Amino acid sequence: MALVHLVVDNVERRGFKRANYRVSTVSRNLTVPDNIPIIAMMILVMFFTYIALKQARRNDQLIEHGHRERIIDEMRK
C-alpha cells in the first residue's frame, strides 16, 4: 500500500511541475510583442461571436412566439 502512495505522490508532483511549466511557457509566448495583436483579435472574435449568438437566440424566441415581423424592427434599433 505504501508503494502505491509513493507512486501516486510521484506522479502528482511531476504532473504539477509539468502543468506549471506549460502555463509559464504559454504566458511567456502570449506576451511576446508580436503576438499581442493576435490576442486582441481573438478577444474581438469571441466578443462578436457572443453578440451574434445572443441576437440569434433573441430572433429564435421571437419566431417561437409568433412575432416574426418584429425581427426587422429589432435589427433597426
Instruction: Give the mean pLDDT of 33-37.
Output: 87
Whether pTM > 0.85 for this model: the answer is no
- Count other C-beta atoms under 10 Å from residue 70's C-beta: 14
* Residue in the structure block whose three cell numbers are 505504501: 2
Instruction: Give the mean pLDDT of 47-76.
Output: 91
Q: Which three cell numbers stand for residue 26?
A: 504559454
Q: Is 56 helix (H, G, I), strand (E, B) or coil?
A: helix
Do residues 74 and 59 make contact, with C-beta atoms less than 8 angstroms apart?
yes
